[in-house]
Structure 1
Amino acid sequence: MLTVAAAALALVLSGCGEAKEGPGAPPAPAVTVAAPLVQDIVDWDEYVGRFEAVQNVEVRPRATGFLSSVHFQDGQFVKRGQLLFNVDPRPALAALAQARAQAAQAQAGLANARTELARSQTLAAQRAASQEELESRQSAMRSAQAQVAAAGAVVRARQLDLAFTRVTAPISGRISERRVDPGNAVTADQTVLTTIVSTNPLHFVFQGSEALLLKYQRQDSGTRIGTPVRVKLADEMDYSRSGTLDFVDNAIDTGAGTIRARAIIPNPGGFLKPGMFGNLRLEASRPYPALLVPDTAVTADAARQVVYVVDKAGAVVVRPVQTGPLLGNLRVIRSGISRDDRVVIDGTQRARPGQKVQAKLGKIQVQPPAASQPPGSSAPPASSAQPAGR
């Protein structure tokens, strides 16, 4: 009985296998395949930061007194040395006149001392004056010379005080509004009259993580002064503003685990303003040939990322890959496939590992990148790529 039952089960299984291979079996699913796109690219890391003025000056008076006049319009562009304020100069003029009078008095004393010395020298030559008298006249003349020098120094000091009643722009740039109106008293080196910020170029300040700093230092890229950067504003789609890295701080912030870095961005038209947010891309690699596939062709399989490849027999093979940054709609594949593999770029949802498929040849094309993350987001800096030479 057991032998007969086994034989019957074998016939049933044989009949099922024939049904699968017969004309009624479903056709192999259709997928689109293409060889990875090979292109020279440069990796860029993205950061959020803020523009800052290269120079930011608080304008304070050097003289104490009453503010008498203002010589600028709030918010205008001023040049270095341009007159901004006047402090009432009358006290300074009076002090200068007094100093000059004292200088004239000292000059008169010197002239008298010279005359007395000459007379004593003549008498001493005729043995009509003692040596002590001659030395006394010489001492008086040296004292008069010192008094003249001191009076001259006082005159120069009073001239400086008078010059300080004219408050001029210490730098060229955009001036803020005045904070003190004429008629108010101001104190030397204390009262803030207004502020001036330079406008061209500007600094772009951002924070980088310790991990990225280590990566740059190990591959000798990204932290060199002069490394290219590109910046875009919150309402811009393209990173159209170019600049260079000009400063990396000398220590990691132990609280945040980040390091402060700064780029310099030309601003010839003055459109950019200090305090604006922006997104920065820092060149993170040298140009290298990369394999690119559509980002949609990369799928997650547990803790790894994979792509589907169709082998020479027409079967689907799973390839674990190591991915890199995005270039538009394409993902950089660092390892796991070769440039000759036929990668499934459409129909991955229909493909199953080991299954035979109908492979249709397609083409991989780069599409423009989507808008990036807005400033102020708490997400970590992203990585992207661009074709080399752009």
Structure 2
Amino acid sequence: MKYYTAALSVLILVSCGKKDAQQAAQQGPPPVNVTLQEVTTMDAAYYDEYPASVTALNQVELRPQVTGFITSIHFQDGAKVQKGQLLYSIDAQLYSANYEQAVANLNVQEANVVKAQKDADRYHELDKNDAVAKQLVDNADAALEVAKRQADAAKANITAVSTNVRYTKVFAPFNGTIGISMVKPGAAVSAGQTVLNTVSSDGQLAVDFNVDQKEIFRFTNLLKSSKSKDSTFTLAFGTDIYPYPGKITLLDRAVDPQTGTIKARLVFPNNDNVLRSGMTGSVRVLNNSSAKSVVIPYKAVTEQLGEFFAYVAGDSSKVSQRRLVLGKAIGNNIIVKEGLKEGEKIAVEGVQNLREGATINTQPAPVAAGAPAAK
């Protein structure tokens, strides 16, 4: 009898446990304790940053225009040079000899012209008295014309060889800085092939960066309104900010179809010779939009598979997951470009325990340090 009584008690307990479990399942998981914060807008001044590279506005590789041997170098590596300054000398003996030979040939051809002119004049005088055959007169005129053409060719040859003599001297094409010489005295160089050095302008340098095609309208307006002393564009190298602002000078001809970006160019003064061609840094573009921005604490944002979300409280004490398009981070906050509106309430504490449609139990927001306690 005792055995049956004990078994009956166990059945009653199991039945009660199942009922409790069913009721708990029907009621769902317990509410999640969260802290809500109202979404607000504010004037958010910040910088958009773009990877950038520094390049010279004018840069050229120096190559010889004649073949020969370097006889002299007339500068110090890395020095500033002026337009027209002599930089390299190439052995000119062969080219000078060719020039002298060309001059001598011209003298011969000019003498032939004088002789042919005299012969033609003599035959024409004889022809007036019918004292010479007409064919001889024509031959004399033809010989004069040939002599003149040969003289013209000799003059053209002098121009060519004198040009080669000039090309044995390599001059700076513009004001700038010259690099380390690629050749030494005595080195053999080939016309149009050997790189002697590189000269680049340094008074102002260009900074190139790519912007998304969606921003073409914005940068076109910046290009129209750009001022020489505007602080809209600055340049950063890590934590160091270049002290002089830049000026936007152009947008490239077309959008790159592979990347969907267009190249923009800024020009920065290089008064202290700090900027060097080939440097990389970040262009900082001041975003001074007149529209107010939605700003929320960054801790309210969750990330899933590369997308960003926030939990928005509804009227029934439940939250829904809202996809966000984020902008620039400002301290512990971040700008939300799309996804939230002013006045909505989002979870800022307890976010890690939330799921879509979760029931919430709101907690009072923590009092900021130094702020008066609520009464």
Using the size of structure 2 for normalisation, the TM-score is 0.68
Gaps of 5+ in 2: 1-32, 225-231, 353-358, 371-375
Counterpart in 1 of 2:330?
328
Contact 1:57 1:197 in 2 (8 A): yes
Contact 1:222 1:284 in 2 (8 A): no
Counterpart in 2 of 1:236?
240
Over aligned residues, Cα RMSD in angstroms?
4.4
Contact 1:291 1:333 in 2 (8 A): yes
Code of the residue aligned with 2:267 in structure 1: it is I
Matched, 1:185 2:188: yes
SS in 2 for 1:355: strand
Question: 1:309-348 counterparts in 2 under 5 A?
Answer: 320=322, 322-326=324-328, 328-329=330-331, 330-334=333-337, 338-339=341-342
Q: Deviations over 1:190-211 (max 9, x none)?
A: 2222222333443444566xxx
Equivalent-residue separation in structure 2 for 1:186 and 1:348 (angstroms): 71
Counterpart in 2 of 1:379?
none
Equivalent-residue separation in structure 2 for 1:117 and 1:111 (angstroms): 10
Equivalent-residue separation in structure 1 for 2:68 and 2:290 (angstroms): 63
Q: Deviations over 1:152-176 (max 9, x none)?
A: 0011111101101111123432211
Q: Pick the aligned partner of 1:94 from 71, 93, 97.
A: 97
Counterpart in 1 of 2:263?
261
Equivalent-residue separation in structure 2 for 1:305 and 1:118 (angstroms): 103
Contact 1:36 1:343 in 2 (8 A): no
Equivalent-residue separation in structure 2 for 1:290 and 1:79 (angstroms): 51
Structure with bigger helix share is: 2
Task: State the shift of 1:295 in Å.
Answer: 3.2
Counterpart in 2 of 1:38?
42
Matched, 1:125 2:136: no
SS in 1 for 2:265: strand
Equivalent-residue separation in structure 2 for 1:324 and 1:168 (angstroms): 54
Contact 1:225 1:247 in 2 (8 A): no
Task: State the shift of 1:348 in Å.
Answer: 9.2
Gaps of 5+ in 1: 1-28, 364-390
Give me the identity figure in percent.
23
Count residues in correspondence.
321
Equivalent-residue separation in structure 2 for 1:142 and 1:126 (angstroms): 24
Q: Pick the aligned partner of 1:247 from 243, 252, 277.
A: 252
Contact 2:234 2:241 in 1 (8 A): no
Matched, 1:306 2:313: no
Task: State the shift of 1:133 in Å.
Answer: 1.5
Task: State the shift of 1:36 in Å.
Answer: 2.3
Contact 1:61 1:186 in 2 (8 A): yes
Counterpart in 2 of 1:153?
156
Cα distance change on mapping 1:309 and 1:200 into 2, 3 Å: farther
